[in-house]
Structure 1
């Protein structure tokens, strides 16, 4: 599974990958799109570092 976050609508010129993270850049070297590969694994790991109060608040609104 992949999580994609579009930062702006500029044209994409190239991308760089580091592990499960791919960042697409415009010709001006501005980040345009971020892809997180294995997104569920990433989000599970990231959520472990969130304070319990934040987790409860987020889950409450779902």
Structure 2
């Protein structure tokens, strides 16, 4: 019975949602830090596009998990 309960932790969607929220928060913090630090507008735009694609990819991964 203990093994079944251990597996249910990995099958629990809330576990993945919590992990996703944590990663998103870290990414937002990191991206905002780089955006504030960088003065190049083009670089900032590229970083925003990259961040959006990362978030979309994470959402798609969460949906298919």
Normalising by structure 2, what TM-score? 0.26
Of Structure 1 and Structure 2, the greater strand share is in 1
Specify the structure having the higher radius of gyration (Cα).
Answer: 2
Q: Which has the higher helix share?
A: 2
Considering Cα pairs closer than 8 Å and 6+ residues apart, tell me whether 1 or 2 has the greater RCO. 2
